[in-house]
Amino acid sequence: MRELDIVLEHFLSEEFPALSEAEQADFERLLKQTDPDLVHWLTGQSQAPDEGLARLVQRLARILSNE
């Protein structure tokens, strides 16, 4: 999904450098998830399986709502 790629690229360039090591590890785990799972989490159709991923999904959702 091109839109998802754009949001992830933006996050990687703008926010990733400021993340803690644990948050960076969570982001790397997020990137290994399937596009359908990510879309479901970002649209609120389902929840991310753990707190670390859920926090990142919330940040990504904010980026999406501002674009």
pLDDT band at 67 (very low <50, low <70, confident <90, very high): low
Residue 55 has what pLDDT?
96
Burial (Cβ within 10 Å: 0-12, 13-18, ≥19) of residue 60 = buried
| Strand segments (E) across the chain | none
Q: Please write the tens of the pLDDT for every residue from 12-24.
A: 999 999 999 999 9
Looking at every residue in the chain, the average pLDDT score rounds to 93
pTM of the model: 0.87
Crossing angle of helices 35-42 and 2-14, in 10° steps, is 80
The pLDDT of residue 36: 95
Distance CA(53)–CA(28), nearest Å, equals: 10
Domains annotated for the chain, with CATH where assigned, are 2-66 (1.10.150.250)
Residue 1 has pLDDT above 80, yes or no: no
d(CA 34, CA 19): 22
